Chains A and B, each alone.
Chain A
């Protein structure tokens, strides 16, 4: 029976070797390696791994962006790991689509357990990292609430309608104000929230802080 294939993408040859030694000794997984994003994408295309393990700092763009590229190319259940996990790092990885996050100080048994969970599509998050994730999400919500508190009652109402996908003319009709006034409200919202576009404002309102700053044009 063919063993599931893990691609481990990490700039550190020591950690790649560590995972290989543990996985192959257990005979549960076969392992292939990548040092950076380009090698990861090439491995994913050629060898079609079943799961991926990505370093949070994978060169040249970091694990979360690498994960997005991998997902657009060939989606694979992915575990992100880091030697020094932070709440923001865990949140960024999970927001980018990681199914799990572990510290690189994880023991062999726990790592194999996490890989097995990924293989059946279950999330894998160490308890202390789950706490970090909750804290990071909470901070994001707090920041969102703080930013939205800068808006007037009318601007908040306009933002809700923008987030609901209404155009300026439709918002004007809904609120019984001119389209020009709606446009001015939207400009004020973007300025106060320091956002590049109404799509970003809508995403922020929906709680999608991770992608709010990079969404499309106004």
Chain B
């Protein structure tokens, strides 16, 4: 799943209503992925993700997180829910959300996306 030499970089969709959140996460993820920033709160996000087929989705909005989880149901995708107000990060494990250890930061998001992509890749 992680790009090796000559392999395409994974596409990560960052879905947020706050441009600064997108900027921070795009900066953190940009070292290994192509980041697609999408505005939060769109209707039919699941359909949009179906058409984009990202390797991962990071969002800060509960409704968007659920839409992303619905998309992940049919695809091997890393889905992360950034909970700004609580300062925590949750990962969709295929059936429920699991909280990640550590204080929320762009680096924690980056590391969690990488670990999740590697896990999904090795399980494939």
Contacts and interface: CB of A to CB of B under 8 A. Distances in A.
Interface in B1-57: 17-28
Contact of A21 (B17, B27, B104): B27
A105 B17 contact: yes
A104 B103 contact: no
Interface stretch (B66-74, B79-87, B92-100, B113-121): B79-87
Nearest to B108: A13
A104 B104 CA distance: 17
A108 interface: yes
A18 B109 CA distance: 14
Given A13-B103, A13-B106, A17-B27, A22 B87 contact: no
Given A83-B84, A83-B85, A105-B17, A12 B23 contact: no
A11 B24 contact: no
Contacts of B103: 13
A218 to B, nearest CB: 41
Nearest to A109: B19
Contacts of B23: 17-18, 21-22, 108
B24 A106 contact: no
Nearest to B82: A14
Contacts of A21: 23-24, 26-27
B103 to A, nearest CB: 7
Interface string A4-16: 0000000111110
Given A17-B27, A18-B24, A12 B19 contact: no
Given A12-B84, A12-B87, A107 B19 contact: yes
A12 B25 CA distance: 13
Nearest to A108: B19
A104 B105 contact: no
Nearest to B109: A14
A52 interface: no
B19 to A, nearest CB: 5
Given A21-B24, A108-B19, A108-B23, 12 more contacts: A12-B104, A13-B106, A14-B20, A14-B21, A14-B105, A14-B106, A15-B18, A15-B84, A17-B24, A21-B27, A83-B84, A106-B20
25 contacts: A12-B104, A13-B103, A13-B105, A14-B21, A14-B84, A14-B104, A14-B109, A15-B24, A15-B84, A17-B23, A17-B28, A18-B21, A18-B24, A21-B24, A21-B26, A22-B23, A83-B84, A83-B85, A104-B20, A105-B17, A105-B18, A106-B19, A108-B19, A108-B20, A108-B23
